[in-house]
A and B are shown apart, each in its own frame.
Chain A
C-alpha cells in the first residue's frame, strides 16, 4: 500500500473520515485546529457525509456532541487546553451517559496559567477519573489507527464508554510523516455501524436518566468503573484484530514494551516523546547498559497487570509525567504505576519525573540521563528523591516589580507586536488607548490581540488577559475591584476579537450589558477567528471563505448570515453603542471619547482590516476598510440612549462588488450572489435609516 506524507492532524482527520463519523461538533483551538479544518474540507467537498456543527464554543460543542451521540449517530469532537477546560462540564458527563459512539481527539497542549501552545499532558490528564477510555498515540500512523480502533472499543456493548485519543500538539499535529491510509472497505468491515442501547427518537420515545436514588447513582458509577476495567480485554482484542486486517499492532494494545527483557531499569513514557526514549534505550544498550522502555498506550483503563508482570523482572521504573500534581506525593503517571505495584511482595524502586512541561523538549540524551540516574539508584539501593523535575530547576522568585519608567509612559502602544503586516488591530489599540488616556487599564482576550502581546508587551497602560469566553467578565472584575479600592476614575477597557466577544464570550458580555457595568468594551472585528488560522465566527460575513467554511465542490463559503453584534448589544438598552472603522480614525476617536464620558456599559464595534485572513496585500488594509464603509456594508453609526445616528454617510454608495472584489475571501462569489448581497446591503442600510428616523422622532 502506498505511503502518503501528511501532518498528524490530517492523519487523524482521515481516521475520522474512514470511521464514517456522522456528526462532527467542532471549535478551533491551536494545535488542534487543522484537524477540524481538514474535516470541513472533507464535508464541503462531499468526501464525508456528516453533519458538521461549527460551534460557538467548547461548552456548547460538548453539549452538541452529547446530543448527537444520544441519537445514536457516530460522533466526533476534538479540543485541548482551554477548550478542554471550557468543555469540561460535558466531558465529565459523557462516560456516565455511556456514549461509546463519541470520540474526542485531545491534541495535547498545556492547560491553565502559565499556558502555551506546545505539547503537555495537563489537559487530558485532568479527565482521568470519569470513565473515558484514554488512548495515546505516539506517531501519525498510530493516531490514525487508534482513531479507527476507538469506535470499535467504545461502541462494544461490553464497554459503551467514550474514547479519547491523545496526540501531542506540534510533535504530532503539525509535523509531517508518512502514513498508510487504510482502504474504506477494510475499515467498514472492521468497524460495523453502531448498535446503540438507547436513542433519542420520537418514534420510540425514551430518555436517559442519570439522576436516581443515591444507591442507583452509586450503582451507575460502579458500572462505569467495571466497564472501564472490561475495556482492557477489548483493547487487546481489537489490537489483535486490527493487526489481522491491517497488518499493524501496537504492543498488546495497552502497553508497548521495548527491550524490557533483562532490563535493570525501565523507562515509562506516554505519547510522542516515546520515540526519543526508544533511541536512548538503543544507545544505552549499545554500551551494555540494561535499560528498557514501556510505552503506556492506554492510560485509562490503566494497564495494572502489565506493570505487575514487568515489575517481576526489573529493579526500577523511571516514570515520566508530562504534567505535575502540585504538592502531591508523586506525579500523575507515577501515581498509577505505584498504586499498581504497591501490594506486590517485592516491588521495584520507582522515581517520578516531571518533565516536558509546557512544551520543553525531552531529547534522547535527556532520557539517557534519566535512565543512567536510575541505573545508579539501583546500585545504591534506591532513589535519593522520589520525585524530581527535569531539566534541573533553579528557580528563584523575586517580589518587587520595578515601576514603569516615566519616559515609557509617554506612549500608549509600542511597536514590535506579533501582528501581521498591515493589521488593523494594532492601529485600533493605539487610537483607542491614546484617546482613553493614562487613567485606563486594558483587558485583552485570547486571539490575535492577546497572543500578539497586548497587555504585557505593547499596550503601555497595563492590564490583564481575559480568557476567550471571559473577557467581559474579567473587565467587570477589574472594575469592581478598582471601585472597591477607591480607584473609581480608572477606565476599564476591554479589547476583544469578534469571535471571543460575540460567540463564546457573549454570555459574559451580555451579562455586563444587562447589569450596565461601568466598562468600555470594544471589538476589533476582523470577522473571523483569525489567530487560530481564519476559522469562521458568528461575525464572519455571509458567504465568506474561511478555513472552516471552505469553498468546496459541494458547499462554498459561510452559509449562515452575519451575526449583527452592534444591534444585539444596542438591544440591551445600554447607554452607548457605536460602530467604527480603522479607516475613519477621527470618527473612532470621537466615539471612544464620548463613550468614556458616559457612566455605564459602552460598546464600540470596530472594523479591523486583516490582510492575512481577508486575502489582500497589506498595503490595501485601509483602502479596503474604506470601501466597506463607502459601499454601505459597514455603516458607521452610534446609538446613544436608544437614539440611532449615522455618523458617516457616503455621498454616493460604491457597489458592494468593489469592496468584495478586493478580497480573496470573496473570490468565489457568483454574479447572482453579488447581486443579492447588493440588495441586502441596501435593505439593511435602509433599515438603519428608518431606525435613525424612528428613534429620533418625538412620538
Chain B
C-alpha cells in the first residue's frame, strides 16, 4: 500500500544505502539468531504465540514480495474489529494473544 499522489523514493544510491545501514542490520540479524538460540537453551519449544508470530514474520523477510514492514506490522496486529468488553491490563504483548481474542 502506498500513497496515490506520492511516488516512493529514497535519494541515496543502492550502494550508499548498503554502506550506511549494513552494519546495524548485520547486528540485528545476529541479535535475532542469538535470541532464538537462547530460547532453545532455556528449554523453550517455540510454542509461545509471540514466537510463532515471529517465525511467520521472518518468512516475510525472504518471500520477495516487498512492503515487508507493513505486512509484518499487520501480522503482529489484532485483526478483530469490535471493542472488547473490558481492558484486562494496561500494557500489550506485541503480538495478538489468542487467549484474549473476542
Are these two chains actual partners, yes or no? no
- The interface of chain B, by Cβ under 8 A from chain A, is none
- The interface of chain A, by Cβ under 8 A from chain B, is none
